[in-house]
Structure 1
Amino acid sequence: MSELDERTIGDTAFTGAVPGPAAGSDSDTGPGTGSGTGSGVRPEPGTRPEPGTRPEPGPDAAPAPVGRVRGLWRKLLLDLRNPLFRNGYALMANTAITAVLGMGYWWLAAQLYDPADFGRGQALITAMRLFASLTALGFVGALAKFIPLAGRRTPELIVRAYAIAGATGVTAAVGFLVTLPWWGPTYASLGGFGPGLFFLASVLVWSVFTLQDVTLAGLRKATWVPVNSIGYGLVKMAMLIGLAYTLPDDGIFVSWIIPAAMALIPINIFLFGKVIPRHVRKTDSGAPPPRLPEIGRFLAGDYPGTLSILAIVYLIPVLIAAQVDEVTFGYFSMAHTLGCLIELLAMNMATSLTVEGSFDRDAIAANSRRALRRAFMIIVPIVVMTILAGPFILRVFGSDFAERGTLLLQLMALAVLPRVLIEIYLSGLRARGQARRLALVQVGLAVLVLASTLLLFPHLGVNAVGYALLLSELLLAALIFNDLRKMLKYGKTSQSTIARGSL
C-alpha cells in the first residue's frame, strides 16, 4: 500500500464500523445469513425451526463472543494500516514495555541495594535526565514536525539536533557540578574529577538517546522503538544485578547509562544507513525543504513549552531531592516515575498526531478526533486500574513504598485524564504551526505546576506534587476546552479550503 493510500483510508478504520462479509460467505454474523441456511428468512412466531437448522437469535440476544473478537481484530488491522495509529500504538506499546521492564528494574534495585543507595541512584538519574533533556526535549516537537518535510536535508536536521542537544546539556551540567554544594548532600557523590566526567558523558549519551525515539517516529518507523526499549531494558537489568556486588554504591546509575551508550551505535547505523536514505527518496518531491530560519522560529515558540515537561518530569524531582533525605526521595521517586509513565501515554498519540499533521495538514481535525477517542479508550482503564490497585502496585517494591507513595501515584494517575485533552490540543497547535499559542499554553502549565508545588510542599510534603499536577492540569484543560472543541470541528465540512487558508 502506498503512503497516499495509507493516509486516505476511510472513516471505517476509526469509527469502529466493521465491513460486513461478502455475499455468499460462510459467516453467520452478516446480513443474508438468516437461520444459517442462507435464506435470510426468520421462522414464524410459534413455529419450530426445521430439523438441521439453527434458530435465529432474537433482537435482544448478545452478539457471539467470536463475532466480537473478530470485529475487534478487524478494527485493529484497519488501525494498523493508518500511519497515525500505527505510530501512536507503537509508541504506546513502547511506554507499556518501558513500564514493565522499568518496574522489574526498580524491583531488583530495591531488593539488591541499600535504601539510601536506591534513593541516591534515582536522584542522580533524574539530574542527568534533566540536563540531557534541557535542549533535546525541545527538539522533540521540531523533529516530529520537520522530519516528514525535510527531504534531502533530513540527515543534516537530525545531526544538528544531536549536536546542539548534547552541547547544551553538557554545558548546563558543568554549571550544576560547579555549584554542587548548593544541591544538598544527595548529590555529593558527584564531587571529584572522575565522577564529574562520567556524569557529563552520561548527559551527552542520554541527549542523543532521547532523540532517537522521536527520530524513528518522524520517519514513520516507530515500530522499532519498542524493539530498542526491550534490548535496552534487558541489558540494563543484567548489569544492575552484576554491579550490585562489584559496585554497590553507584551500580544503579552506571547500569542505567552503559546500556544506553551501547544502543546508540546499532540504532544510528540503522537510521543513517537505511531508514533515512529511503525516507529521502520517498519524500524528495522537488519542493524546497524547510529552511533553518523557519525551524528556528518554530523552536523559538515551541522550546519555551518544553519547560512544562522539564518542570513536571525532571526539575521538580531534583528540587525535592534537595529538600528531603535519600531514603524519602527513593519512596517519592518510585511513585513519581510510575505516574510519569502513565502521563507519557497521553504524549505518545500526540507525537504521532504531529507527524501525520505535517504529512497532511487538511486532516488535522479528523485525526485529532480519532486520536482523542483512541487515547481515552486506552488511558481511562489504565487510570482506573492504577487508582484502585495503586497500593498493591507499590507494595511489590516494599510495604514502605506503598505506605508513602500510594496517594502521590493515585493523584498523578487522575491528572492524566485532563492531560490527554491538553496534549491533543498542543499537538494540533504544532501541526498547524501556531508557535505563540503553543508556548503560552505550555509555559502557563509549567508556571502553574511549579508555583502550586512550592506553595503546597510545606503543608503536604511530597504529595504536594500530585495535588499540584491535578489542580494545574484541570485548570488548564478548562481554559483551552473551547479552543480544543473548535479544533476538533475545524474543517469538518469544508476541510481543505479552511485548512489551507489558515496556515
Structure 2
Amino acid sequence: MILRDLRNPLLRNGYALMANTGITAVLGMGYWLLAEHLYTPEEFGRGQALITVMRLFSSLTALSMAGALAKFIPISGRRIPELILRGYGLAGAVGCTAAVGFLLTLPLWGETYSWLGGLGPDLFFLGAVLVWTVFTLQDVVLTGLRQAVWVPANSLVFGLVKMGLLVALAGALPHGGIFVSWVIPTALALIPINWFIFGYVVPRHQRNNPTNERPPRLREIGRFLAGDYPGALSILAIIYLVPTLVSTQVGPAVFGRFSMAHTLGCLIEGLALNMAVSLTVEGSLKPGELADNCRRALRRAYTILVPVIAITLLAAPLILMIFGQEFADEGTTLLRLMALAVLPRVLIEVYLSALRAQGQARRLAFVQIGLAVLILGSILALFPIAGVEAVGWGLLVSELLVAALIYGELRKILRVGQSEQPIVTQRS
C-alpha cells in the first residue's frame, strides 16, 4: 500500500511533509534539550519568546502567501518564477514593516524582549524576520511544484547545523545565543535552496507539466489574497499571537516551560496541516478529483495521527520529563489537550483546503475568522482561572465546535467534490 501511495502526488507530498514534521519534532526536542542544559531558565524562555515573535511577523503575509502559492504555482506555467519572487518580496516587506513597529514600542512588551534593545540587535531581528519569511515560503514552493520530498532533507540539515551552533555559542554568547543559533543556519540555507528551486525544480516542473490554461493574472491572485488574508491573519493569531500574548503575562522561565509543551502540541497539529497543503495543490491541478483526494487525505491523516495522539496522551508526562520535573508538572495537561484538539482540526483543515482549491475565499475567511474568535475569546476568558492550560482548553472546545458546524458541508464535498462548488458559492 505504501508504494502505491507514493505514486500518488497527493499522498507523496503529504507523507513528505509529515516526515518533515517528524524530523522537526525529533531534532527540535534535541535542540531544546541542549538549550535547557546550556542556558539559564530565563534565557531558555527568552530564546523561545524571541523565536515566536520573529515567526509572528514573518507570517503576517507569508501565511496567506502560502495558500496562494500552493493554489497558483501548479497552474502558472511560465510565470512561476515571477509568482515566487513576488511572494517572497511582499511577505518580507510586510513582515519587516510590522517588526519595525514592534521594535519602536519595545518597552510595552515586557522584560522578556529586553535583549532587543540597541541598534545591532534590532537590525539582526529585522534580518531574521526577512530570512525566516523566505525560509518558510520555500517549503510551500517545493510543495506547489510537487517536490515536497526535498523538504525533509532541508529540515534535517537545518536542524543539525542549528544544534551544533547552539553548543558553540553557549559560552561565547550566553545572552541571545539561542536566537542567533536559530537564525544563522536559516540564512545560510537560503542560497542553495533557492538556486535549486529556480535552477532545477521550476524548469523541470514546466517541462513535465505543460498547461494550456492562461496563467493567472496578478489581479486574480490579488483577489484571492484579499479574500484569504483575513482568514490567514486569524490562523496566524492562533499559532503565534497566542504564545506571544502569554509571554507578556508570565516571566521568561515560566514561558519557557509553557512553550515547550505548546511547541510539541503544534508539531502534532502540523501533521494535519501537511496533508491539507498537499490537498490544495492537487485540488488546483485536478479539480475533478477533489472529492477522491479529500477522502484519501482524511483516511491517511487519521491513520497516522490517531496512534500519535494516543501515544501523546499516555506518555505526555514522560516526554516532558526529559526537560525536567517542572516541565512535566506544568505542561502535561496542556500537551494532552492540544493533542486531542488535532482530531477535529483534521476535518477543519481538509475542509479549508477544499475551499481554497475551489477559490471560495469568502467562505474560507468566514470559517477561519470564526475559529480564531472562538479560540482567542475562550483563552482570554479561561486564562484567569486555568492559567496556561487555558490555551489547550480553548483550542479543544473551539475546534470541536467548528468541526461540528462545517461537517455537513464537508460531507457534500466528499460525496461529489467540485460539482458542489456552485452550491457553496450561492451560500457564501
Matches within 5 A, 1:110-149: 110-149=36-75
Gaps in structure 2 of 5+ consecutive residues: none
TM-score with structure 2 length normalisation?
Answer: 0.97
TM-score with structure 1 length normalisation?
Answer: 0.83
Matches within 5 A, 1:21-170: 75-170=1-96
Q: Which amino acid aligns with 2:85?
A: V
Matched residues in 1 for 2:422 and 2:234: separation? 30
- Aligned partner of 1:382 in structure 2 is 308
Determine if contact 2:75/2:211 at 8 Å carries over to the other structure: no
Determine if contact 1:152/1:284 at 8 Å carries over to the other structure: no
Gaps in structure 1 of 5+ consecutive residues: 1-74
Mark the structure with the bigger radius of gyration. Answer: 1
Determine if contact 2:75/2:213 at 8 Å carries over to the other structure: no
Matched residues in 2 for 1:371 and 1:284: separation? 26
* The one of 172, 178, 182 aligned to 2:104: 178
* The one of 406, 414, 428 aligned to 1:488: 414
Matched residues in 1 for 2:112 and 2:213: separation? 53
Does 2:194 match 1:265?
Answer: no
Q: Which amino acid aligns with 2:100?
A: V
Distance 1:406 1:276, change over 3 A: same
Distance 1:122 1:502, change over 3 A: closer
Determine if contact 1:362/1:500 at 8 Å carries over to the other structure: no
Determine if contact 1:84/1:352 at 8 Å carries over to the other structure: yes
Distance 1:77 1:115, change over 3 A: same
Matched residues in 2 for 1:76 and 1:348: separation? 17
Alpha-carbon shift at residue 162 of structure 1 (Å): 0.3
Spell out, residue by residue over 1:314-338, the C-alpha distance to the aligned partner (whole angstroms, 9 max, x if none).
1011101011001000000000000
Spell out, residue by residue over 1:148-173, the C-alpha distance to the aligned partner (whole angstroms, 9 max, x if none).
00000000000000000111100000
Choose between structure 1 and 2: higher helix proportion. Answer: 2
Matched residues in 1 for 2:420 and 2:246: separation? 47
What SS does structure 1 have at the residue aligned with 2:393?
helix
Matched residues in 2 for 1:499 and 1:78: separation? 30
Alpha-carbon shift at residue 502 of structure 1 (Å): 8.2
Distance 1:501 1:389, change over 3 A: closer
Determine if contact 1:412/1:469 at 8 Å carries over to the other structure: yes
Aligned length: 425
- What is the RMSD computed on CA atoms of the aligned residues? 1.3
Matched residues in 1 for 2:38 and 2:170: separation? 6
Distance 1:463 1:210, change over 3 A: same
* The one of 211, 223, 227 aligned to 1:285: 211
* The one of 394, 397, 404 aligned to 1:478: 404
Spell out, residue by residue over 1:77-120, the C-alpha distance to the aligned partner (whole angstroms, 9 max, x if none).
00000101000000000000000000000000011110000000
Distance 1:137 1:471, change over 3 A: same
- Aligned partner of 1:316 in structure 2 is 242
What SS does structure 2 have at the residue aligned with 1:490?
helix
Determine if contact 2:13/2:143 at 8 Å carries over to the other structure: yes
- Aligned partner of 2:145 in structure 1 is 219
What SS does structure 1 have at the residue aligned with 2:249?
coil
